[in-house]
Structure 1
């Protein structure tokens, strides 16, 4: 037991170091996990044993990966890009696979092995390409759209491959047709069953769960749904990943999609990391070094083949040459789903250990080289004469606006959030609201409001709302503890964004400003200003004077309103007493220490208490000067922190320091 704990501790340490190092040099974490597996496996240092338990946990990573993929899979998105997805995407996968199968078969590989390897090498890395497209700002340009369309078809193509490959391994040539037909029938039945569950049952389940407003229960339900769907397909003799994909696809049309994806992501990333570690453990470094020239040659061949297939296919669909070639450069590498199929091939003995080492080496090197090649794409195109004119700026092409840009993010869509939205809409100011109450989300969406279901304290939800591109973020709820968490999450994503926050009172005003809040609107003080405005107006004061006084008070950050008479109640909370100043009335009797002394002589400034007003007989003096002499029966209005005011009162009356 102790040795097992030590093995996993060493694995965790190595993973942290490798992920940090690879991120610092601009490489994806997938490569870091693969490197960790190489180091930990029997072909490396060999401190970690490859067991069935590790394989099972790693398979859960695939389940969650396919579940997340299903959430992102939208029928409407698919139909909008159908020409690219089913045109360019199908051409790329089919042509690349056929060419590779023919080449491998001519090299004396069996037909089954050729099909498996060809299918694996035809896929590209969604994770790497989408990340690079987002970072370079090319996600919404034509070349980026072409790449996304092809990747979407590849992701769809993985699903039948998950069914076909195990069948090829377990059925002979005479019964393969019947076995395939039977499996497709089972797959169709499972799809219909999961579709029915996802259409009618799961939305009601998640509505009830969301109404409870418990984060832990929502996360547990998400995990349960993904695992249940995987178990259902496994019971029918199909892949667990297939069931998870179908469940995610059913929930992808609901308004819980963003929250589900945010909840599943930590588990998915950690377990996927373990999966890639198990893949890396199978890489035989001695084989790689002894066959280095063959691997480099295969890498160059894969580069030329996939770029040529994508570029020619895109030009046949009337795309520009520069976009076609750029798309090919983006998609030339092997992808993470290739590693999934490698694991499936190893499990069903479709691939030998040498094949696995060869494919893993090819995948790792191709993914590592992709960021460099995408960065050098403009240079490559200019060298090929496709960007001859200096006026054609690669990075300067007009971009389609993102879904949310220069907009207002409203955190909470209750009465305050809805009121804000109603005022923004006539001014043509774009906004998006984030709300965790499913009923409000459902009603808002039905009314055409841009509302996202989710908890704003999660960074993934804030990213879905485009916080990093927002002009302003408004927090409409008043719970201070929750507000702190949300502000911290916002600042991690968008440190410069302006934040407007609503609070019940001004007790945490200074602390909120220290956290980076741009503007704080205390309800009690604003209500006071509104009442004052009505009182003055009904008393005959000109509206221009009322507006000026109210504006001055807001401009001075509610200085006068922050001071008030406490009555018999004094809040003993240390944090509050250190933030607020109170007004307190002191009447000076005949024998008081302060009588016949000037305010300057009393040196109240040193005690950090000021006299805001002085009432003498029927006359009131606002902000009395330091030279005025205090007389018996004067009434003073003191302003300061409670303890300081109490000490000054004793000093004025008895002379006690």
Structure 2
């Protein structure tokens, strides 16, 4: 147990240091995880041993990645992309495999050996490409859609390959047709089963869970659904990632999509990091050095052939040249399922140990180079003169509306809806975030732009476009929640204006220091409205009333901050302790403060101020610090209850 803890601690420490260092020098975290794997594996320092348990946990990262990818799709959207998935995807896999087989045959490989190597080299890495596309924001661009469509077909192709490779190693290879037909039947059944569950069961489950309004329960349900779908397809002999993708796709059109994505993200990112660590652990640096020239030549051939094939196939079905080339660059590497096929082929003696080592090195290095090449796609297209090329219309990106220069309303209860009603006639675009599922359903049925989620979650705030908003309004008055939300907003959009509703002004200064632009205290605003009506009905001109009210707002409601609590103070709730109030004290002849200047008493350091002084029926507002206090003076003090109480004792007997 102690050894395991040491290994895990070492892995986490190395991951933190490497990711930090790679980000500082401008390299993607994927390379950092691969480097940690190389360092930790048996070919490096060797403090971690590669095991099936670690491999299984790492594979969960791909499961969650495909689940979040499925949330970006739906059945109608997938059908709209069928010519990409089943057209372009099929062309890419078939043509690439045939060309690789031809090249390997010319190098005197047997047809069985050539078929095995060619098919696994034709596959690309869903884990690397999807993660990079999500981070770069290109998932919804046309080139990103082409890449995703091909990857989906490749993930489907893995299933028959897992059946064919063992059968090829046996003499009874005539059973391939029967086995494939059986596998396809199982696949169709499990897809239909997941579709039925996603259509009729999952919406009701999430409706009930959302009604409870407990973050932990929603998160647990999300994990349960993803793992259940993955386990179901695994039990039927299919890929776990395929099941997770189908489950995500079933929920892609639900109102909970953004919250599901936000909940699954931390688990996905951490486990994906572990997956890339396990990939790096399989790389033998000494073998790479000894066969460096051959590996470089193979990498170059892999790049040219796969980019050329995909670029040609994409243009063949009518895609733009720059999108076709960009998609080819994205998918040039070997994939994670290639490692599974390598292990399977090695187990059935279809590959020699030297070929296995070479293919593992080729796969890891191609994955490692992919982030750099994807980052350089704009530079490559520019040098080829393809950036300015445009052609006919293409299907719109499959994404949520891209809000810009809009208002984000956090909470769509009565206050949020009232704000929305005033924004709509002014043609000011807005989007609201609400976690009450019933309210959400009613608002969406009325055509309101509302998304489901918890506003403290940064991914939900990003879905609402907070970083591009002109204003964020927080409509609930819970100070603790407001602090968390303001902190999350400032991390995403430090310059956005934030308007907060509070019940009173007790936390006004704290919220201002936290970065809130304006705080609207309900109690004080209600007082201003009442005063406005009183003055108006008393005959005071409206211009003067507006001027007085505006002055109070500019001065942060200073005229309204203090109040007399009377006999009710002792019975007030604990929240009153945070409010400032007014207290009157009369100075007898024996009082310590008599014959002292106000400034000498250092009341400001005690955070209590003298608001007024009454002497011989004459009232002095805001007396100066040079004013000498006399016996019989009546002071009006302002401050928080306990501070005022201590100052009263101090003024009377000189003791705190």
TM over 0.5: yes
CA contact (8 A) 1:311 1:321 kept: yes
Once the two structures are TM-superposed, the CA of residue 452 in structure 1 deviates from its matched residue by 1.6
Superposition map of 1:92-171 within 5 A:
92-109=92-109, 114-115=114-115, 117-125=117-125, 145-171=141-167
1:512 corresponding residue in structure 2: 511
Please provide the CA RMSD for this pair.
3.8
Q: CA-to-partner distance for each residue in 1:409-467, whole Å, 9 max, x for gaps?
A: 22212112222222222222222222211112222222222222111222222222222
Do the aligned partners of residues 470 and 344 (structure 1) sit closer, same or farther apart at CA in structure 2, a change above 3 Å counting? Answer: farther
Do the aligned partners of residues 423 and 352 (structure 1) sit closer, same or farther apart at CA in structure 2, a change above 3 Å counting? Answer: farther
Do the aligned partners of residues 278 and 624 (structure 1) sit closer, same or farther apart at CA in structure 2, a change above 3 Å counting? Answer: closer
2:479 corresponding residue in structure 1: 480
Do the aligned partners of residues 228 and 443 (structure 1) sit closer, same or farther apart at CA in structure 2, a change above 3 Å counting? Answer: same
- Provide the C-alpha distance between the structure 2 equivalents of 1:602 and 1:52, rounded to a whole number of angstroms: 74
- Provide the C-alpha distance between the structure 2 equivalents of 1:488 and 1:100, rounded to a whole number of angstroms: 53
**SS of the residue aligned with 1:561?**
helix
**SS of the residue aligned with 2:418?**
helix
Question: Residue 562 in 1 paired to residue 561 in 2?
Answer: yes
- Provide the C-alpha distance between the structure 1 equivalents of 2:231 and 2:131, rounded to a whole number of angstroms: 31
- Provide the C-alpha distance between the structure 2 equivalents of 1:249 and 1:238, rounded to a whole number of angstroms: 17
Superposition map of 1:571-650 within 5 A:
580-587=579-586, 609-613=608-612, 622-623=621-622, 636-643=635-642, 645-646=644-645, 649=648
CA contact (8 A) 1:283 1:356 kept: no
- Provide the C-alpha distance between the structure 1 equivalents of 2:349 and 2:65, rounded to a whole number of angstroms: 23
Do the aligned partners of residues 310 and 438 (structure 1) sit closer, same or farther apart at CA in structure 2, a change above 3 Å counting? Answer: same
Once the two structures are TM-superposed, the CA of residue 87 in structure 1 deviates from its matched residue by 5.4
Do the aligned partners of residues 113 and 604 (structure 1) sit closer, same or farther apart at CA in structure 2, a change above 3 Å counting? Answer: same
CA contact (8 A) 2:85 2:152 kept: no
Once the two structures are TM-superposed, the CA of residue 592 in structure 1 deviates from its matched residue by 7.4
Do the aligned partners of residues 597 and 485 (structure 1) sit closer, same or farther apart at CA in structure 2, a change above 3 Å counting? Answer: closer
**SS of the residue aligned with 1:269?**
helix
Superposition map of 1:369-384 within 5 A:
369-374=369-374, 376-377=376-377, 379-381=379-381, 383-384=383-384
Q: CA-to-partner distance for each residue in 1:482-539, whole Å, 9 max, x for gaps?
A: 2222222222222222222222222222222222222212222222222222222233
Q: Which moved more, 1:541-550 or 1:97-106?
A: 97-106
- Provide the C-alpha distance between the structure 1 equivalents of 2:276 and 2:600, rounded to a whole number of angstroms: 77
Once the two structures are TM-superposed, the CA of residue 105 in structure 1 deviates from its matched residue by 4.3
Superposition map of 1:203-352 within 5 A:
203-316=203-316, 321-335=321-335
Question: Residue 440 in 1 paired to residue 439 in 2?
Answer: yes
- Provide the C-alpha distance between the structure 1 equivalents of 2:599 and 2:42, rounded to a whole number of angstroms: 84
1:55 corresponding residue in structure 2: 55
**SS of the residue aligned with 1:564?**
coil
Once the two structures are TM-superposed, the CA of residue 233 in structure 1 deviates from its matched residue by 2.3
Q: CA-to-partner distance for each residue in 1:136-157, whole Å, 9 max, x for gaps?
A: 77666xxxx3321212212321
- Provide the C-alpha distance between the structure 2 equivalents of 1:351 and 1:407, rounded to a whole number of angstroms: 59
Once the two structures are TM-superposed, the CA of residue 262 in structure 1 deviates from its matched residue by 1.7
- Provide the C-alpha distance between the structure 1 equivalents of 2:401 and 2:119, rounded to a whole number of angstroms: 34
- Provide the C-alpha distance between the structure 2 equivalents of 1:136 and 1:103, rounded to a whole number of angstroms: 35
CA contact (8 A) 1:287 1:354 kept: no
Q: Which moved more, 1:97-106 or 1:205-214?
A: 97-106
1:530 corresponding residue in structure 2: 529
- Provide the C-alpha distance between the structure 1 equivalents of 2:571 and 2:430, rounded to a whole number of angstroms: 39
Once the two structures are TM-superposed, the CA of residue 39 in structure 1 deviates from its matched residue by 2.3
Q: CA-to-partner distance for each residue in 1:33-71, whole Å, 9 max, x for gaps?
A: 222222222222223222232233223333223222222
Once the two structures are TM-superposed, the CA of residue 481 in structure 1 deviates from its matched residue by 2.0
Once the two structures are TM-superposed, the CA of residue 589 in structure 1 deviates from its matched residue by 6.8
Q: CA-to-partner distance for each residue in 1:197-251, whole Å, 9 max, x for gaps?
A: 1111111111111111222211211222222222222333333333222222212
Q: CA-to-partner distance for each residue in 1:565-621, whole Å, 9 max, x for gaps?
A: 2324269999986x7542222356798788899978988778765443456788766
Once the two structures are TM-superposed, the CA of residue 277 in structure 1 deviates from its matched residue by 2.4
Once the two structures are TM-superposed, the CA of residue 185 in structure 1 deviates from its matched residue by 1.2
Do the aligned partners of residues 207 and 607 (structure 1) sit closer, same or farther apart at CA in structure 2, a change above 3 Å counting? Answer: closer
Return 5+ residue gaps in structure 2 as ranges. 390-398
Do the aligned partners of residues 502 and 111 (structure 1) sit closer, same or farther apart at CA in structure 2, a change above 3 Å counting? Answer: farther
2:15 corresponding residue in structure 1: 15
- Provide the C-alpha distance between the structure 2 equivalents of 1:518 and 1:333, rounded to a whole number of angstroms: 49
- Provide the C-alpha distance between the structure 1 equivalents of 2:352 and 2:61, rounded to a whole number of angstroms: 23
CA contact (8 A) 2:166 2:345 kept: no
Superposition map of 1:169-180 within 5 A:
169-171=165-167, 172-180=172-180
CA contact (8 A) 1:37 1:277 kept: yes
1:396 corresponding residue in structure 2: none
CA contact (8 A) 1:162 1:242 kept: no
**SS of the residue aligned with 1:536?**
helix
Do the aligned partners of residues 634 and 27 (structure 1) sit closer, same or farther apart at CA in structure 2, a change above 3 Å counting? Answer: closer
